[in-house]
Amino acid sequence: MSCTSCSPPAIRPPVDLNNQSEIIRGREVVRVSKFFSGASEGKFLSTLYDDVKTLYDAFRKGAKESNNGRCLGWRQNISRPYQWIHYNQALLRARNFGSGLLGLGVNPGSFVGIYSQNCPEWIITEQGAYCYSMIIVALYDTLGPDACAFIINQAEISVLIVDDDSKCNQIIDRAPRCLKKIISIREVRMATMQRARSRAIEIIRFDEIERVGAQKMFEEVPPKPTDLCTICYTSGTTGNPKGVMLTHGNVIAAISAALLQLSDHRPKYSDVLISFLPLAHMLERTCESAMFLVGGSIGYYSGDIKNLTEDMKTLKPTIMPAVPRLLNRMYDKVMAQIRPSFIKRLMFNMAMGSKENEIKKFQSGALKIIDRKRHIFKLAQGEYIVPEKIEAVYSKSLYVHQIFVYGESLKSYIVAIVVPDVDVVKCKALENGIPGTLSVLCADPKVKQMIMEDMAAWARQDGLRNFEQVKDIYLHPDPFSVQNGLLTPNFKMQRAQLKSYFKPQIEDLYNPPNPTATKNS
């Protein structure tokens, strides 16, 4: 049986991937994209549609394109089906909410804060703000309470939307004087209401703002392309958060460029996107804005990343914005299922073999990005280490759930913190007569040796050089997560926090009681 008969046809890019740009004649070497025909004439792409110049326009364009199709979907828990808000209803609720904000004294051009997980109310807040030319400022967990207070104060945010009681309390503890009202999407406790009142802050329910706004129904004040749509704050490596000011025109241009490059493969009104990457970051914001532009549907995950697979089974999305770490974990789970079966391995290898023929090496002289500069470090002997490359190799081991590779300029070798895959380790331990919980197994030298041998095999297979191979590991039973501050909301490792968190263990790895000769090799 030919594997090509059961696999989708290869995607044909709209331009030659080995020759994606051309040089404009002149004194300086200036390259422009071939995706946009006007680029060679010095023109810039600002929008794909003359009637879409702002995010306010884009949402209304989508409502027409979809013929009032499904817009925002959610479910209360993983045992319930998805419920849907259609475009016209979303438009009405957004206008009601924006009118309610105006009634609270939030004027056009003012900043509206939001601190919430992804949900339909996030978008209703955003679009409601755009109805009256207000500007969205998003907060997120890994900023920390002090940074959140700094942002609220700097942007002079008087009204903040939050999703639950917990976030209300986090904000109240360090609330600047400019914050006057908190709008909660869900119920908050009476004790929280009282704490807020003691700080001269009023807590109001989200649906109450909609109700009052519907009664007042102020005339809309649509934004211009040059108006700010958001200030996106970065956590920053040092000092206070830095705010990036983005206009409606900025975001529409970015969306238009992405859709142009996707060509025939751009999303359509029939597509469904699953939303789980944080809306506080521009990757997810632009993806969802592009979906609204074409009239697509967006279903929000149920709130726990562990249940994402169950959400996907129910929602059946056709589009999923993702980050490499998540895709690697999905790949590892697939490989764990097919390795025990010869037939499954054979079919998988046949499918991969057919795709390898389509992969070509770029030889256009373009710059290849291998990692962020701040992640690369040099060992004592002068060799440079790219930790994410090494982590990607070791993550192929079935034993490895997560791994943090560490090194420094005064040491000649690298070490790693490894969070084992609980199911695989327990199974292999039982096969070898080693009982115990994961915490007990992590402290067992035999388990450590078993994992290190498998990691070493992958290092050899993938051609890691000697200085790129970890010489010792510490097994940690608890996963890195957003909640414990070791992952960002995009599920990237917080390397500075990991270094600090595991400082005692790292010191022990570099100063073992019985150092082996291999560490000096």
Answer yes or no: are the C-beta atoms of 357 and 293 closer than 8 Å.
Answer: no
What is the per-residue pLDDT across 398-447, written as a single tens digit (0 to 9) for each?
A: 999 999 999 988 888 999 999 999 989 998 898 889 989 999 999 999 99
DSSP, collapsed to helix, strand or coil, labels residue 181 as strand
Of residues 238 and 3, which shows the higher confidence score?
238
Give me the chain's average pLDDT, please.
Answer: 88
Give the mean pLDDT of 455-460.
94
Q: What are the respective helix, strand and coil percentages of the chain, to the nearest 5?
A: 45, 15, 40
Distance from the first to the final alpha carbon of the chain:
49
CA torsion 423-425-430-434 (nearest 10°) is -140
Give the C-alpha separation, 308 to 313, whole Å. Answer: 9
Q: Which two tokens stand for residue 71?
A: 């817009």
Give the C-alpha separation, 266 to 11, whole Å. Answer: 12
pLDDT-based confidence at residue 298 (cuts at 50, 70, 90) = very high
* Residue 309 in this model has a pLDDT that exceeds 70: yes
Alpha helices in 199-276 (DSSP H): 206-216, 248-262
Q: Which residues lie below 8 Å from residue 333, measured CB to CB, with a gap of 6+?
A: none
Percent of the chain whose predicted confidence (pLDDT) is above 90 = 64
User: Which of 469, 453, 446, 320 lies closest to 389 in space, CA to CA?
Assistant: 469
Of residues 81 and 263, which shows the higher confidence score?
81
What residues pair up with 204 in beta bridges, in sequence order?
A: 183
Look at residue 363 in the predicted model and tell me its pLDDT: 40
Q: Which two tokens stand for residue 236?
A: 């920053």
What is the per-residue pLDDT across 221-263, written as a single tens digit (0 to 9) for each?
A: 999 999 999 999 986 556 788 999 999 999 999 999 999 888 8
pLDDT-based confidence at residue 365 (cuts at 50, 70, 90) = very low
How, if at all, do strands 228-234 and 202-205 pair? Answer: unpaired
State the CB neighbour count (10 A cutoff) for residue 380: 12
Of residues 367 and 115, which shows the higher confidence score?
115
Of residues 353 and 267, which shows the higher confidence score?
267
* Residue 366 in this model has a pLDDT that exceeds 60: no
* Residue 518 in this model has a pLDDT that exceeds 50: no
Answer yes or no: are the C-beta atoms of 202 and 179 closer than 8 Å.
Answer: no
Q: Which two tokens stand for residue 37?
A: 């025909």
Point out the least confidently predicted range of 17-26, 50-59, 385-394, 474-483.
17-26
CA torsion 363-364-370-372 (nearest 10°) is 180
Q: Which residues lie below 8 Å from residue 147, measured CB to CB, with a gap of 6+?
A: 233, 235, 240, 241
pLDDT-based confidence at residue 489 (cuts at 50, 70, 90) = confident
Of residues 26 and 158, which shows the higher confidence score?
158
pLDDT-based confidence at residue 373 (cuts at 50, 70, 90) = low
Residue with tokens 């990691």: 455
Give the mean pLDDT of 312-339.
82
* Residue 186 in this model has a pLDDT that exceeds 90: yes
Look at residue 515 in the predicted model and tell me its pLDDT: 53
pLDDT-based confidence at residue 352 (cuts at 50, 70, 90) = low
DSSP 264: G
Residue spans of beta strands (DSSP E) within 54-173: 70-74, 83-86, 111-115, 135-138, 159-162
Look at residue 240 in the predicted model and tell me its pLDDT: 86
DSSP 233: E
Look at residue 28 in the predicted model and tell me its pLDDT: 77
For the chain, state the CA radius of gyration.
26
Percent of the chain whose predicted confidence (pLDDT) is above 70 = 90
CA max distance for the chain:
78
Look at residue 203 in the predicted model and tell me its pLDDT: 97
* Residue 44 in this model has a pLDDT that exceeds 50: yes
DSSP, collapsed to helix, strand or coil, labels residue 370 as coil
Amino acid at 367: L
What is the per-residue pLDDT across 459-472, written as a single tens digit (0 to 9) for each?
A: 999 999 899 999 99
Give the C-alpha separation, 322 to 167, whole Å. Answer: 26
Answer yes or no: are the C-beta atoms of 292 and 59 closer than 8 Å.
Answer: yes
